[in-house]
Structure 1
Amino acid sequence: MIERYTLPEMGNLWTDAYKFKTWLDVEIAVCEAQADLGYIPSDAVREIKAKANFDPKRVLEIEAEVRHDVIAFLTNVNEYVGDAGRYIHLGMTSSDVLDTALALQMVSSLDLILQRLEDLIVVIRQKAGEHRYTVMIGRSHGIHAEPITFGFKLAGWLAEVLRNKERLLNVRKTTAVGKISGAVGTYANIEPRVEALACEKLGLKPDTASTQVISRDIHAEYVQQLALLAASLERFAVEIRNLQKTDVLEVEEYFSKGQKGSSAMPHKRNPIRSERLTGMARMIRSYAVAAVENVALWHERDISHSSVERVMLPDACILTHFMIFESIDLIQNLLVYPDNMARNMNCYGGVVFSQRVMLTLVEKGMRREDAYRIVQENAHTAWNKIDGNFRDLITHDARVKEQLSSTEIDACFNPQHHLQHLDEVYQRLGI
């Protein structure tokens, strides 16, 4: 991933240096496990741990000749270790190192994502609390529907982020598996006890039934859950973009002093962060497709997944992490305009209260079909701005006046009726 969208703490997990470190961690854990079980001398393991090291540049130099990254790595490590190096990688295959180390990288990346997600949860909950009673219009199909509050909208975002958190915690469990089972997974030259001990030392569990590799459905699920989180963050961003339109302007991204929105139009204040989030979600979704394509490997393994994962996994993790960071700042500093929300809600003279008028007429004994027709006639007249606003039209409609008093009509246009149960939703979410 390009540096522009990479935060250091996540980017560091996907460097060659960190990758080789995890490879060495796996090799040492296996040596320790074999020593614990009496397969290799404990003195040799102590010597390996004391001397083992690597030089990323030297590894790449050797790889250019041997065209095999794990062999290049082991060659370089043995240059540091000397004679005791003969016990490194004993009975193992390359994927024992690669897949187990990859699990460590994926879990560490997920831990960073979950940490950031906790910060986002705090920010959304706080902003929802600030606007729990900030009334605005709810929209369906992009059309004015009925009153809600901005806090209620944010409550929906919070609930979605909490679901994403639970999904990621679950996928962390399925991802945290290693395999030290040999060339085709049969433990022909290394026994399962070594795998179990080594994985325990690394904070992993042994894969239930590996082949030469850990099955890629695990990796596909991982990326799909990142894509789902990205889709949620995109949904929030798209909502902000829609609410920031000039003719709506109910919320707006913070625009800093000195910031410029256009090289041609000095007045522009564009929702660039929300648009950036939308684009990033598209990239992560594309990786979810690639991850699924990786599942169907030939027989006990082919290498077609490798080139995909070298790009897909770092990018998906780095982008997701960055998206959360951007979302935190976006929501924390979001400008909210309650006056514009009130103006937009009332722009057709209360037409958004049509259901309440209809139901009140039904409660008074009018047939639903008749009540619907009467209210719709008045609503469409108001919508088309033919002859007054909706509230005035309803107030002066003789058919309505026969059923409802002026006080009862006024009650139909009280937005508090629509908000009376929202505290229950807030309570569920700790808002």
Structure 2
Amino acid sequence: MSQLFASLFYQADVTQIFSDQALIQYMIKAEVALAQAEADVGVIPQSAASIIAQVAEEQGIHAIDFESLATATALAGNIAIPFVKQFTAAVKNVDEEASRYVHWGATSQDIIDTATILQAKDALSIIQIQLQSAHDVAVHLAEQYRDQVMIGRTWLQQGLPITLGHKAARWASSFQRDLERLEQIKSRVLTVQLGGAVGSLASILDQGSAVVEAYAQRLDLSKPDCTWHGERDRILDIAHFLAVVTGNTGKMARDWSLMMQTEIAEVFEPTAKGRGGSSTMPHKRNPVAAASILAAANRVPALMSSMYQSMVQEHERSLGAWHAEWLALPEIFQLCAGALQRTHEVLQGLEVNSENMQRNIECTQGLIMAEAVMMALALKMGRLNAHHLVEAACKKAVAEQRHLQDVVAEIAEVQQYFNVEQLQQIFKPESYLGNIQDQIEAVLKHAKGEAK
């Protein structure tokens, strides 16, 4: 990603986690933990593990020549092979005997996969914080605007009244489910990888299982029942979670961007100097955050296609499919974190125009209350008869450009069952909100940790 566009689509902390420098740091961490785990079990000398850890602490990424690493990676087919050579050389400069035990018994994929999981663990921690913050803001909006009546829309047309609080409660509920999804996958996906050439760890003889367990403990990751070089469902689980989160933010961005349209003007993204303007139209107030989020929601499914295809791998370790993950997963992470950041910013600074919400409710001259009238009459004359009567009244109201309440009030059957005051009550949008308040209350209780 160009640095010129990074601030538009990404989030700085997650982007840093997936930088070249950070990747090498995670790979060094994996190598050190491997040496320490093998020393714990007695596979390699404790002194060797101590020297390897010392080099990592004192030199870190400075032990690696990134320019030559990039050149060698193209020749080697993965970054681990030239990385291990350089890291081994750095250890050898300190202690030749210790350098013999760098990367002992491991294969390139062990280090790259484990580094990827370590990256994912740290990035998911950030995303969890983002989700919780966005959830809390959405809950606040749900409570603040639980009684703010607005029009609900289906198929982009006016439907029935809802409240802005109900819309915010649905957003909050989405974030809550995302948080729950994350908790559900953690123990399954944050798993160490160590299998050697074909997953058997034959190079460590009879100590393989003990080393894997010690390795997992050293890295605070879970221990798999067996190696997963060729089975990529864990990586896909991570990507799928991120895709769902990004899609959820995309739905929210679609909502508020439509509500920002000039003719609707019910909510607005927060203002700031230089934000949302046009290069040619001074009057414009564009939904720029929504544009970034929707771009992410558009891009991530394409990247997910690559992730799904990468599940089909050959035998014990793959050719090409594994490699495709290196490109797709980091970008999915960064787009998701960026979308969450911008969603939080908008929800936190959302500007609400209640007057325009009321204006939009009234613009159909009562047509949005047709269902309410029909259901009230259905109790008296049956649903089908009521439907035909109200449908005819709607057509007449449109043709004569009159308010539906006035047209309905002239119908003898209606006069038989309802007086003027009762009819006025039926036409109040706030009187036809169904169980919206119950739904909002359930979301608020869930947010407070109370039982549903």
TM-score category of the 2 structures, normalised to the smaller one: over 0.9
Percent identity at matched positions?
26
Partner residue in 1 for 2:450 = none
Q: Equivalents in 1 of 2:219, 2:308: separation in Å? A: 27
Cα-to-partner distance string for 1:234-278 (whole Å, 9 max, x where unaligned): 111111111111111111222334546222222111212212211
Question: Per-residue deviation at 1:302?
Answer: 1.9
Please say if 1:196 is aligned against 2:213. Answer: yes
Q: Equivalents in 2 of 1:214, 1:169: separation in Å? A: 25
Question: Per-residue deviation at 1:50?
Answer: 1.6
2:343 to 316, 327, 338: 327
Q: Equivalents in 1 of 2:253, 2:419: separation in Å? A: 44
1:86 is matched by which residue type in structure 2? R
Q: Equivalents in 2 of 1:307, 1:266: separation in Å? A: 47
Please say if 1:282 is aligned against 2:292. Answer: no
Cα-to-partner distance string for 1:370-408 (whole Å, 9 max, x where unaligned): 2111111111222x2425210100111122112222222
Question: Per-residue deviation at 1:64?
Answer: 2.7
Q: Equivalents in 2 of 1:406, 1:154: separation in Å? A: 35
SS at match of 2:432: helix
Task: Map 1:190-269 to 2 at 5 A.
Answer: 190=204, 191-210=208-227, 213=229, 215-257=231-273, 259=275, 261-269=277-285
Worse overlay, 24-33 or 286-295:
24-33
1:76 is matched by which residue type in structure 2? Q
Partner residue in 1 for 2:80 = 70
Classify 1:221/1:404 alpha carbon distance in 2 versus 1 (closer, same or farther; 3 Å): same
Question: Per-residue deviation at 1:63?
Answer: 5.7
2:387 is matched by which residue type in structure 1? Y
Runs of 4+ in structure 1 deviating by more than 6 angstroms, as ranges, are none
Q: Equivalents in 2 of 1:335, 1:186: separation in Å? A: 59
Classify 1:149/1:96 alpha carbon distance in 2 versus 1 (closer, same or farther; 3 Å): same
Worse overlay, 53-62 or 214-223:
53-62
1:395 is matched by which residue type in structure 2? A
Q: Equivalents in 2 of 1:263, 1:363: separation in Å? A: 57
Cα-to-partner distance string for 1:266-296 (whole Å, 9 max, x where unaligned): 2111212212211111111111111001000
Question: Per-residue deviation at 1:188?
Answer: 1.0
Worse overlay, 413-422 or 192-201:
413-422
Classify 1:65/1:230 alpha carbon distance in 2 versus 1 (closer, same or farther; 3 Å): closer
Worse overlay, 399-408 or 181-190:
399-408
Worse overlay, 143-152 or 60-69:
60-69
Contact 1:217 1:292 in 2 (8 A): no
Please say if 1:113 is aligned against 2:127. Answer: yes
Please say if 1:339 is aligned against 2:349. Answer: no
1:55 is matched by which residue type in structure 2? H
Q: Equivalents in 1 of 2:186, 2:280: separation in Å? A: 48
Please say if 1:404 is aligned against 2:418. Answer: yes
Partner residue in 1 for 2:308 = 292
Q: Equivalents in 1 of 2:69, 2:404: separation in Å? A: 79
Contact 2:369 2:427 in 1 (8 A): yes
Classify 1:152/1:344 alpha carbon distance in 2 versus 1 (closer, same or farther; 3 Å): same
What's the C-alpha RMSD, in Å, of the aligned pairs?
Answer: 1.9
Cα-to-partner distance string for 1:145-189 (whole Å, 9 max, x where unaligned): 211100111111111111112112222222211121211111211
Partner residue in 1 for 2:16 = 12
Task: Map 1:59-208 to 2 at 5 A.
Answer: 59-61=66-68, 64-65=71-72, 67-68=75-76, 69-82=79-92, 83=96, 84-190=98-204, 191-208=208-225
Give the number of equivalent residue pairs.
Answer: 428
1:376 is matched by which residue type in structure 2? E
1:429 is matched by which residue type in structure 2? V
Partner residue in 1 for 2:28 = 24
Q: Equivalents in 2 of 1:289, 1:253: separation in Å? A: 32
Classify 1:252/1:73 alpha carbon distance in 2 versus 1 (closer, same or farther; 3 Å): same
Question: Per-residue deviation at 1:368?
Answer: 2.2
Q: Equivalents in 2 of 1:260, 1:158: separation in Å? A: 26
Gaps of 5+ in 2: 446-452
Question: Per-residue deviation at 1:348?
Answer: 2.2
Q: Equivalents in 1 of 2:375, 2:366: separation in Å? A: 15
Classify 1:387/1:22 alpha carbon distance in 2 versus 1 (closer, same or farther; 3 Å): closer
Contact 1:17 1:56 in 2 (8 A): no
Gaps of 5+ in 1: none
Contact 2:275 2:288 in 1 (8 A): no
Question: Per-residue deviation at 1:337?
Answer: 1.0
